[in-house]
Amino acid sequence: MANRLKIIRTVSSLRRALELQGRPSDRVALVPTMGALHRGHMALVREAQRRSKRVVVSIFVNPTQFAPNEDFASYPRGFATDLKILRDAKVDFVWAPPVEVMYPDGFATRLAPEGAAKAGLEDQFRPHFFGGVATVVAKLFTQVSPNFALFGQKDYQQLRVVTQMARDLDLRVKVIGVPTIRESDGLALSSRNAYLSAAERTVAPVLHRVLEGCATRIKSGEKVDQVLSVGRIEVDVAGFVLDYLEARHALTLAPIGSRKEGPIRLLVAARLGKTRLIDNIGV
């Protein structure tokens, strides 16, 4: 069974393969990725396999979520390596559509999510991003028709947007957030970590340490605004260019001023050299 992995390139082949393999009652889990797989992705795969008999891992670097000045052309890709990792993990299907399959000539529909997608976090710096994400994920959900879809909590705003989108569109899929996988020094795993120089890699874990320190101080009763002010200075002093460090309601991502206003999620995004890093933790 080690070589059972099927690589699928067209929607009709995908649906036919899912119909032929397994019983109709067997549940299907989807792990959407853009490839360049690492231990974080494989944690999603393991959770998918725990929940479902059939697992689909999609590999598609989605051009509609990149702005013209972003790293679409240089985004890490390693399809052959990804396939070996997935084959070793005994994954059933790799859904790897070409761009022309996902966005054929004449494609003219794009979702415009609001709510968490307009929270003033990633959307403030990447206003194109969540429209591209919501559109491609909605397509993946309708192509695969999964019972479960697994997303990492590292991209926390994305997780909230996708969860709301599935709910709003009455899609029969349960979106599940899987805790962030980290290096031993706390750095959240990301395909973009490959961009970091050796010197930058030693500095990068500061983001997580700042989040942990902020969470500890908030839990001890310090005022949220004061804690965040200190945290922003710490990020700046470490050599990052800060985009945001915010405390938000963990479900709605609305601004939050105190612990009394609901469960808190701390979110940060900052640039280190040419690499943009994001992270978050719950309080």
| Alpha-carbon distances, residue 144 vs 38, 39, 40, 120, 185 (angstroms) | 23, 24, 22, 31, 37
Q: Which two tokens stand for residue 117?
A: 């997608």
- Cβ contacts of 181 within 8 Å, gap of 6 or more: 38, 39, 40, 43, 152, 188, 189
Phi and psi (nearest 5°) for 236?
-65, -45
Report whether 256 contacts 249 (CB < 8 A): yes
Q: Is 249 marked active-site?
A: no
Catalytic pick from 41, 128, 208, 249? 41
Could you identify the residue written with the tokens 């390596």?
81
How many Cα atoms occupy the beta-carbon half-sphere of 145 within 13 Å?
12
> Which residues are part of the catalytic machinery?
41
